[in-house]
Structure 1
Amino acid sequence: MTDTSTLVRSAAARVFAAQGYLRTTLHDIAAAAGLSSDNVERHSPEKYTLFAQSVLGAARTLLQASDHLVADVHDSRQARAQLAAVIEASARATIAQRNASGFYRSEVRHLLPDDRAENAAMVEEVQARIRRPLAVMRPDLEPAEIALLAAASQSAVASITIHPTDMPEQKILTLLTTAAMRVLDSSPVRPSEIAPAREVHLPWRHDDSPRSRIQRTALSLFARDGFCAVAPDDVAAASGVSVDVIASEFGDLSGLLLDACCVGHAELQRIDDDVLATAETPRDALVGFSCNYVHYSFDEPDGMTAFLNDGRRMPGEQKLEFLRMQAFTVGHWVRSLLGIRPELSLPEAQFLVFAGMCIVNDLGRKLGWQRDELTETRVQRVVLAAMATIRAC
């Protein structure tokens, strides 16, 4: 029989993962646990305490899953075996807590400094358990490349926490572990393989009109603090534009975020249409889409971060519009991937596409959105590797 404290912690993790820290109340947690609010408050009167337990508990579970696998390896055969075992252990742990760990990307910013440091240390150790055998298996790689591949392999596994596509657990496990190992086997980028990306045009990037200043400022605040933490007064103070003007241009901040998402989506669609017009094969199309997505994300990190972190948490019809935009872009990738790998089912292709897209955002944050063609090409290489054994060039 599950005790009340365990029931509350489990419910809290699910609600925080679905709604985010700022949107969640103790009443929401009580409802998810099937308890009264008074009962929840008796066991944990502070929402933050439950939140920290949820985030740190998820990281600790992931780390402990591979504790028994830590050992020195001395040749490439041993290293590959250890890598495969660590990846599988991580994937099993992630699958087991899929609905209760989706806050790893954005919600950790709400942790207090000591808790954030503890979480970061556990995440670092998880990735170190991949870097160490990878360095033995692939001694030709530079440390920076090893670190990038280790982070990308974990991102591929963690991607299942941010989308609802469902399949039998064993199929998910096979799909994720295979994708992660393909990432670790991917080849370094040669200078001759760097290709220029299509130029992105967004009105708020260069226009200094009040409307553009509002959008540029708001997206920066949303990306840094989260949509729910930002008020119209914050945007007004940072942009130098009055709250009344913000209201006349966008109505409210939800309208502002939706407008920016729609404009950004239209621009991504424009450069993807260029790909469709010139691609001769599904491989050409997928390479082009991934190149566009990586370049757009690195060129407009604030907008993409706000889109991914807060779009699916918009109210009502605005959330549905976000989901339509996301489904449109994902659909392009999925159709191309199925053209390359017809043996995949539709859900399998969707899993792999979300893994690739998740890698872009996670590596972007890890690299500080460093904008140069070599970095973007490296990221694109591992994105493609997660989905299929193809090269960009």
Structure 2
Amino acid sequence: MAPASPSARSAATPGPATRPRNRRQLIVDAAGRVFSERGYHTASMEEVAAAVGITAAALYRHFPNKYALFAECADVMVDGLVAALDEVPAGAALTDVLTAVTRITVAHRASGGVYRWEARYLGREDRRRLAAKFGRLVGRVDEAVQREHPLPDGRLRATAALGAIGSVTMHRTSIAGRRAEELLLASALRVAASGPAADRPGARPVELPARPVPRTRREEILAASVPLFARNGFASVTNEQIAEAVGLTPSALYRHYPGKTDILAAACLQAAGLLAQGVERSLREVTGPHDAVVALAATYVAYSFEHTALNSVAEAELAGLPAGPRRPVVLAQRKHIAVWERQLRLARPELDPRQARVLVHAGFGVVVEAGRRLRWRDSPDRRETVTALVVAALGL
């Protein structure tokens, strides 16, 4: 047999693997998923590298540290949203504008959770740049809202509509992408068209249980830690800062909590307990599923305004808890969602369980973004306004 020619031998022998041209994008996509699932402070560069199928050393050739990678992840999705809207003609219908936003958001659902942490972990300049991009996005939606629904609080409604859409990045309910797009688009359109709260039947005033007055050193530590976690992010707060806030030495903290993570777990459980008590009170005198859903919405709005820091910590930092301490908090959250799901399906029998859960989370997203827009400045009128937006998001 004649020896193979040099060209044949080169074709049969595999050469060194070539680096894909879009490796940086692959890294950012994988990092977004890891950050969303694990939380910023628990995610590692090694996990991201493994998700891409490269070594950590190769990852560091693209990004010098975790912060740089996180900052780019935060930019990528909002850049995609802005680019999608740039392709929508000026003066286009609100449906076309929100459809573009919904498609991009659902397509990047797995990585969109990075926005839970951007305000805590991005530096000032990066936050300012990202806020400007979001401002452009909201402005474009607001133009379409004002053109079709020239009602008061147009920008608030635009922001809340985006909150309904963005909510899909914050939970894992399994639902087909096309069906998710349909549900979220319809929800956002209802929010955008929502009239003044005075035009809707109001919920009864909500009286939530107050946070317990700290009476022990352990309770004082918890009360002092929550605003620190909310303002600076759990990972950035030190034991020294917590100890100083309550007049202790850092070593003395360990007599009350084994570690900082245990303080976070206690905060998350306290948040879940306060909300559960509020829900129990709000449902005592309702006369039907529609009233029950309205009462649930009013309760969640009141809770979010009254316990903003606590709720912010519980929502944003839960992913960073180890599995053991996280489990009872997750179970409490699931129980809360189940109450909403049951009442919403009674009020809207055409919904299946997954559709109902997606809409419930859309309502939560409305509260988050509307509350941020209002800077969480509490008043009865603002509670009524946001409650009306939640009810619209749910389709009641």
> Do both proteins adopt the same fold according to a TM-score greater than 0.5, normalized to the shorter chain?
yes
AA partner of residue 178 (structure 1) = A
Higher RCO (Cα < 8 Å, 6 or more apart): 2
1:12/1:51 contact within 8 Å kept:
yes
Between 235-244 and 214-223, the greater mean CA deviation after superposition: 235-244
2:208/2:277 contact within 8 Å kept:
no
Cα shift at 1:284? 1.6
Matches within 5 A, 1:228-267: 228-267=235-274
* Distance in 1 of aligned mates of 2:215 and 2:35: 37
Partner of 1:198: 207
Partner of 1:161: 169
Equivalent position to 1:19, from 33, 38, 62: 38
| Deviation by residue 1:9-55 (Cα, 9 ceiling, x = unmatched) | 22222222223333333212111111111111223233222222211
| Deviation by residue 1:293-324 (Cα, 9 ceiling, x = unmatched) | 11111101111001100123210111111210
Instruction: Give the direction of change, closer, same or farther, for the CA distance of 1:52–1:331 in structure 2 (3 Å limit).
Output: same
Equivalent position to 2:107, from 88, 96, 114: 96
* Distance in 2 of aligned mates of 1:265 and 1:22: 22
Cα shift at 1:194? 7.3
Partner of 2:97: 86
Cα shift at 1:254? 2.1
Partner of 1:355: 362
Matches within 5 A, 1:64-83: 64-72=83-91, 82-83=93-94
AA partner of residue 120 (structure 1) = A
Matches within 5 A, 1:146-295: 146-190=154-198, 193=202, 195-203=204-212, 206-207=213-214, 209-295=216-302
1:227/1:310 contact within 8 Å kept:
yes
Instruction: Give the direction of change, closer, same or farther, for the CA distance of 1:110–1:260 in structure 2 (3 Å limit).
Output: closer
Partner of 1:75: none
AA partner of residue 257 (structure 1) = L
Cα shift at 1:174? 0.3
Count residues in correspondence.
Answer: 376
Structure 2 gap segments, 5+ residues each:
1-19
Identity of aligned residues (%): 30
Cα shift at 1:360? 1.4
Cα shift at 1:246? 2.9
Secondary structure in structure 1 of the residue aligned to 2:284: helix
* Distance in 2 of aligned mates of 1:70 and 1:195: 43
Equivalent position to 1:45, from 50, 57, 64: 64
2:40/2:117 contact within 8 Å kept:
no
Cα shift at 1:184? 0.8
* Distance in 2 of aligned mates of 1:87 and 1:301: 28
Q: C-alpha root-mean-square deviation of aligned residues, in Å?
A: 1.9
Instruction: Give the direction of change, closer, same or farther, for the CA distance of 1:362–1:247 in structure 2 (3 Å limit).
Output: farther
1:21/1:107 contact within 8 Å kept:
no
AA partner of residue 178 (structure 2) = Q
Structure 1 gap segments, 5+ residues each:
73-80
- Normalized against structure 1, the TM-score is what? 0.90
Partner of 1:131: 142
Equivalent position to 2:131, from 110, 113, 120: 120
Instruction: Give the direction of change, closer, same or farther, for the CA distance of 1:113–1:101 in structure 2 (3 Å limit).
Output: same
Cα shift at 1:2? 5.3
Secondary structure in structure 2 of the residue aligned to 1:92: helix
AA partner of residue 127 (structure 1) = V
1:294/1:360 contact within 8 Å kept:
yes
Between 334-343 and 355-364, the greater mean CA deviation after superposition: 355-364
Instruction: Give the direction of change, closer, same or farther, for the CA distance of 1:8–1:63 in structure 2 (3 Å limit).
Output: same
Cα shift at 1:121? 1.0
| Deviation by residue 1:155-202 (Cα, 9 ceiling, x = unmatched) | 111001110111111101100000000101111122994752213221
* Distance in 1 of aligned mates of 2:69 and 2:319: 23
* Distance in 2 of aligned mates of 1:332 and 1:218: 30
Instruction: Give the direction of change, closer, same or farther, for the CA distance of 1:242–1:365 in structure 2 (3 Å limit).
Output: farther
| Deviation by residue 1:365-386 (Cα, 9 ceiling, x = unmatched) | 2222111111111111111111
1:30/1:40 contact within 8 Å kept:
yes
| Deviation by residue 1:39-80 (Cα, 9 ceiling, x = unmatched) | 1122323322222221111110011111122414xxxxxxxx
1:91/1:173 contact within 8 Å kept:
yes
| Deviation by residue 1:99-140 (Cα, 9 ceiling, x = unmatched) | 11211233243223332222111111111111112212222x
2:240/2:250 contact within 8 Å kept:
yes
* Distance in 1 of aligned mates of 2:61 and 2:250: 41
1:202/1:267 contact within 8 Å kept:
yes
2:217/2:256 contact within 8 Å kept:
no
Larger Rg: 2
- Are positions 1:334 and 2:341 aligned together? yes
